[in-house]
Structure 1
Amino acid sequence: MIQNINLAVLIDGDNIPSAHVKEMMEEITKYGNPTIKRIYGDWTKPNLSKWKHLLLENAITPIQQYGYTTGKNATDSAMIIDAMDILYSGKVNGFCLVSSDSDFTRLATRLREAGMEVIGIGEKKTPNPFIVACDKFIYIEILNKQTEEKTESKESNEHTIDSITTKDINLISSTIKDLSDEDGWAFLGDVGSSLQKKRPNFDSRNYGFDKLTPLIKSIDKFEIEQRENSKSRHKLIFVRVKKG
């Protein structure tokens, strides 16, 4: 993931809950500088009123979009048109599309074709085509969980944590083997990057771990080795599939 890039954050106000917008914006800053922040919706509708104070607190510009026709999503159209205008302006290096709507799949694909970094944020109900069209996809439920754990016990949040499956473990295993040396060791940083490319929504937080290292350590099939780094005081972490 490219660091310190300028990002355009475009939020589908009709399709995203407002409860954790602060945590969402904090998450976005890990990947770049959100220089453009816009949210789209019909602000005359009472269901969007809960957004209003959050927009001021987070410096997000509301874009009014009336629903001109029944059965058509005007918000989607406005977001897509704005995204293309921003793309051609040359002011950003990437986009963050905040929605759980598969209608943005083609937009994400088009932006990546233009060389943009595309981060998606949405609920776990988001259709897979939109997820895989992004470079990285983050579930809002995971951001919710991180906030709730500050005040609630872990047990009360277990519903937000996925159990790691055999399919997940096989994905990690095959990725390690793809990158391993003759002794089977692979640099964990490269493994994490490759996992992200293979499955944009792969995130250790989905399984209850803040980082990839503790997730790998929790799986008996793998072993970890720390090595000295001549260029830094931080040790390099390597992983391999246990023999036998």
Structure 2
Amino acid sequence: MSLEQVDNIVSKLIKESKPYAWVMGEFSQVEELKDFELDLEILELLGITFHLGKNNILSLKTRTNKIKEQIFCVVDIESTGGINSGKILEIGAVKIQNHKELERFESFVKVDEIPPNITELTGIELAMVKDSPNLIQVLEAFRLFLGDSIFVAHNVKFDYNFISKSLYECGFGILLNRRICTIDFAQCCIENSHYGLDALKEILKIESTHHRALNDALAAAEIFKYCLGKLPSHIKTTEELIHFTKTAKLKNKCYNKKHK
């Protein structure tokens, strides 16, 4: 997948606004988007939105969106295996804005088989999903639910890439949503030696059943909201928040190492 290519385009758009033609030209070079006739509406459906200014200049909406106004979608999936050989088994998600829950998404996906170790881990048996919608139906509904929200997950790379790859294979294009990892965010805001979901749930006294998609998404949402409450006061916009989650932990590590 062309995640790095998309990130390179977005990194330029974070720094400055660009002409409409430049934006469409850059995104049209992404292999997974070459079959799309790109315009602002299509890009929004794929997860990224712009403000259209004078002279057809486009600005990333997340550059100016205030954090309290931004909608975040906290996501978790269960799968039958890894991204290269497994299939999505369940998707759970919760949308939040200004610390308040807006709505939830939860669905099994019909699959032909579930490995015994996955059933042991998740408690999901084949009989539980036999009447569920297929992957195309679930992904279509999830994409509409997600919209242009910020995609948040615990170890976001796994969930984001898995869903993006599955969307592409089903003909829906890849994800372009901005994303935040709650592991990274927690490392910026919570002092601890372990940042797995169970460890953070214990620290923050979050009670939920582990290894079910919606429950894990709700737990990650509580971690996310806790960390939002710990943000430095100068972090105001969505892009400032994303930058903070990626860089503050590195600064903290360097500081701690220097002052040992």
TM-score scaled by length of structure 2:
0.26
TM-score scaled by length of structure 1:
0.27
The structure in which a higher percent of residues are helix is 2
- Structure label with greater radius of gyration: 1
Higher relative CO (Cα under 8 Å, sequence separation at least 6) belongs to: 2
